[in-house]
Amino acid sequence: MEHVEKYKIFQKELVGTKDGNPFKDITIKTSFINENEKIETEGFYKGNGLYAIRFMPQKTGKWQYIVESNDPQINGIQGEFICDEASQKNHGRVCLKKDVMSKNEINFYEDDFHFAYEDGTDYYPFGTTCYAWINQTAKLQEETLQTLKHSPFNKIRMCIFPKYYSYNTEDPQNYAFIKDENGFDFTRFDNTFFENLEKRIQQLDEIGIQADIILFHPYDRWGLSKMTKQQDIYYLSYVIRRLSHYKNVWWSLANEYDLMPQKSIEDWDEYARVIMKYDVYGHLRSIHNCIPFYDYHKSWITHVSVQRVDVYKTAEMVSQWRDEYHKPVIIDEVGYEGNIDYGWGSLTGQELTRRYWEGCLRGGYLSHGETYVDKGPTIWWSHGGKLYGESVERIGFLKKILEEAPQGVKPLKLTAENHEENWDSICLCQQENWFLYYYGFFQIMYRNYTLPQGKKYKIELIDTWNMEIKELPEIYEGKIRICLGGKQYMAVRMKEI
């Protein structure tokens, strides 16, 4: 019998009719049944008389399936397969941490702001942005994957539709829709395009990267941002039926929804319902703004995915947005390292790294992007290719530091007692056992701390820019003064001994 690894895809290709427009005319629903449950997924037409049914089993053991279709060639097809245990690096989908933690382990309140794989393994999103990478040449796509493989990133924001914007104005080779000299046929999907997209999603999965798929966006000269509502829903239904079986997909309904005034707020809510209908797994869902925030309180939104609100500060807003939305906060555009002719894309490596520390220590997450116009033939944020910036390695350093943190860390709460020592810094801590302070662009020479009574600590100085960790030889207790050396971008880690 066929075997499929848990959280991977069981797929069958079926031969059916080519008559009419099977994309539109043929329904194909498959029930996957194990001893306890029955899950129905809708299949899709690939073209040339070929159909596919897909399923991502989340339970091991034997599964049976049976197809229902209005195409008699397909209707009634059935079979079975065995779902095996997941292999070591396969943790399933990324979920909200609160949804996967066993109830006796959950860290109430703080876990609401974080993610975990469905097997309970922690997942800290450290994303990057290559909007149009799948719309570049195959060679460039391969190069992007190579770069990603050797980067600290574990999520990528990427569009399905091509992007038309400064530094990126070329036509792609294929589109989601079939196109001829008369333009797009919005009722027929291009299998070549989707097979490549799926291959890339799978390759991302192999290197541990979540594909944060942007379903609509405004940077368009092909008319793809201005389809009718009916066309949008038809497109969404197809995309979700094809892609939702990949464990590493997230749905971002839009990049900068507010730059698409032709779609109303109610439209987006309706599109969310379409996604939820066809995605039987419940992958993470959000929507990204340019200026006005979407109402991230809405229940279909699993996490906040926002843009910087200010030329100067945004990562600093994480605390406020956590309080406001009570969901994980990802600042998906906090500004990019580079030297492009826009304020959002001309940050130094220092500043982007600072924003990362600032946002992460406040209990949020950020996405990276790179916009150097003069370093190579492509610009990462749009095309992919190579990374040239200085922040990438430092973001990796921060990621490692956060991965090493004990379970249950959360941002230090300012109180009347600790205010004087902490109002001008940020701190992640675990009870009184572990503290990670960060001082941003300040160049402090000495700093005073009042350590919790009766406890002893080892202290490390972390130079977050030079990525050096220096353990101080002493053991500390009570009121202490630590020399930080008058350097910028310093952090201090304290561990109770």
d(CA 447, CA 115): 34
Please give the size of the binding site for its own copies, defined by CB under 8 A. 32
Q: Closest CB to its own copies among 406 and 486? A: 486
- Pick one of 448, 468, 478, 497: the residue that binds its own copies (CB under 8 A): 448
d(CA 460, CA 436): 9
d(CA 233, CA 70): 21
CB of 475 to its own copies, least distance (A): 22
Record the tokens describing residue 460, joined without a space: 């490390």
Pairing label, strands 249-254, 210-216: parallel
Q: Closest CB to its own copies among 17 and 346? A: 346
The string of DSSP letters for 215-279 reads: EE-S--SSSTTS--HHHHHHHHHHHHHHHTTSTTEEEEEESSGGG-TTS-HHHHHHHHHHHHHH-
Record the tokens describing residue 93, joined without a space: 């989908």
342 near its own copies, judged by CB under 8 A: yes
8 A C-beta contact, residue 177 and residue 184: yes
Name which of 127, 129, 132 is nearest 383 in CA terms: 132
CB of 419 to its own copies, least distance (A): 12
- Pick one of 199, 226, 313, 400: the residue that binds its own copies (CB under 8 A): 313
Q: Closest CB to its own copies among 197 and 461? A: 461
312 near its own copies, judged by CB under 8 A: yes
424 near its own copies, judged by CB under 8 A: yes
Q: Which stretch binds its own copies (CB under 8 A): 36-44, 150-158, 277-285, 418-426?
A: 418-426
347 near its own copies, judged by CB under 8 A: yes
Contact flags string 237-266 toward its own copies, x per CB under 8 A: ------------------------------
Pairing label, strands 155-159, 126-129: parallel
Indicate the length of the chain as a whole number.
Answer: 497
What DSSP character marks residue 345?
Answer: G
d(CA 310, CA 292): 12
- Pick one of 292, 323, 423, 454: the residue that binds its own copies (CB under 8 A): 423
445 near its own copies, judged by CB under 8 A: yes
- Pick one of 310, 377, 415, 419: the residue that binds its own copies (CB under 8 A): 310
How many other CB atoms are there within 10 angstroms of residue 164's CB atom?
18
311 near its own copies, judged by CB under 8 A: yes
- Pick one of 87, 297, 486, 497: the residue that binds its own copies (CB under 8 A): 486
8 A C-beta contact, residue 100 and residue 92: no
320 near its own copies, judged by CB under 8 A: no
Q: Closest CB to its own copies among 198 and 351? A: 351
Site for its own copies in 364-383 (CB under 8 A): 373-374
Q: Closest CB to its own copies among 216 and 438? A: 438
CB of 364 to its own copies, least distance (A): 16
Q: What is the CA radius of gyration of the chain?
A: 24
CB of 365 to its own copies, least distance (A): 19
- Pick one of 159, 444, 459, 491: the residue that binds its own copies (CB under 8 A): 444
Where do the DSSP E strands lie in 278-401?
285-286, 304-307, 329-333, 337-338, 365-367, 370-371
Q: Closest CB to its own copies among 244 and 307? A: 307
Q: How far is CA 97 from the centre of its chain?
A: 14
Q: Which stretch binds its own copies (CB under 8 A): 38-46, 270-278, 419-427, 429-437?
A: 419-427
Q: Which stretch binds its own copies (CB under 8 A): 63-71, 135-143, 168-176, 346-354?
A: 346-354
- Pick one of 31, 192, 203, 488: the residue that binds its own copies (CB under 8 A): 488
Q: Closest CB to its own copies among 227 and 491? A: 491
Name which of 272, 337, 332, 333 is nearest 302 in CA terms: 272
Beta bridge partners of 462: 469, 491
348 near its own copies, judged by CB under 8 A: yes
CB of 355 to its own copies, least distance (A): 10
122 near its own copies, judged by CB under 8 A: no
Name which of 226, 382, 215 is nearest 305 in CA terms: 215
167 near its own copies, judged by CB under 8 A: no
316 near its own copies, judged by CB under 8 A: yes
Q: How far is CA 116 from the centre of its chain?
A: 12
228 near its own copies, judged by CB under 8 A: no
* DSSP 3-state percent helix, strand, coil across the chain (nearest 5): 25, 30, 45
CB of 348 to its own copies, least distance (A): 6
8 A C-beta contact, residue 287 and residue 259: no
Q: Which stretch binds its own copies (CB under 8 A): 8-16, 209-217, 344-352, 387-395?
A: 344-352
The binding site for its own copies (CB under 8 A) comprises: 310-313, 316, 339-344, 346-348, 351, 373-374, 423-425, 439-448, 486, 488
